[in-house]
Structure 1
Amino acid sequence: MTTATLNIEDLRALIAGALETEPEEVTNEAHFTDELEIDSLMLLEISTRVENAYGVPVDDVVISGVQSLVELHTFLASKIAGEPSA
């Protein structure tokens, strides 16, 4: 696992980079599929970037069911801390 510190702004930039958009477009509560139009292939790309940055396996992110930046941040924080996710 990498030792990168989980920061919501870095996570926002990671998602924006995958979407090739500005970080301001990735608001905290923007729904991934409805507002950001993230499909399954894009979620896989984001999950791969998350794994590279934070060491959380792609499969864990994909099956987590997170639907917003805040949900993803909360999920990753629990995984990195070694706690089971809700």
Structure 2
Amino acid sequence: MTTTTVNIEDLRTLIAGALETEPEEVTDEAHFTDELEIDSLMLLEISTRIENTYGIPVDDVIVSGVHTLVELHTLIAAKVAEPSA
């Protein structure tokens, strides 16, 4: 069994890559829709990258209602820590 760790800096870089911006622009508490202007299509892109990196289904991220990098990190870390069935 392999263990995947979720580093908030890796998520910051992942989001910055999707937004084509610098990681420093994706602050811990920046609101996705208000400050980072992440719309539903961009959220789908980010969710797909998360699925490819961490194996978390796209729908889990989209329906989670996360609004910040910190909330996303908490969600992904919890999902990765769940025992697989």
TM-score when scaled to structure 2?
0.92
**Runs (4+) off by over 2 Å:** 2-5
Q: Equivalences for 1:48-63 in 2 at 5 Å?
A: 48-63=48-63
Specify the alignment match of 1:31 in structure 2: 31
Give identity over the alignment, percent.
79
State which drifts further: 15-24 or 3-12. 3-12
Taking the aligned partners of 1:37 and 1:18, their CA distance within structure 2 comes to 12
CA RMSD across the alignment: 1.4
Specify the alignment match of 2:69 in structure 1: 69
Q: Which runs of 5+ in 2 are unaligned?
A: none
TM-score when scaled to structure 1?
0.91
Q: Which runs of 5+ in 1 are unaligned?
A: none
- How much has 1:62 moved relative to structure 2? 0.3
- How much has 1:11 moved relative to structure 2? 0.3
- How much has 1:3 moved relative to structure 2? 5.0
- How much has 1:28 moved relative to structure 2? 0.1
Larger radius of gyration: 2
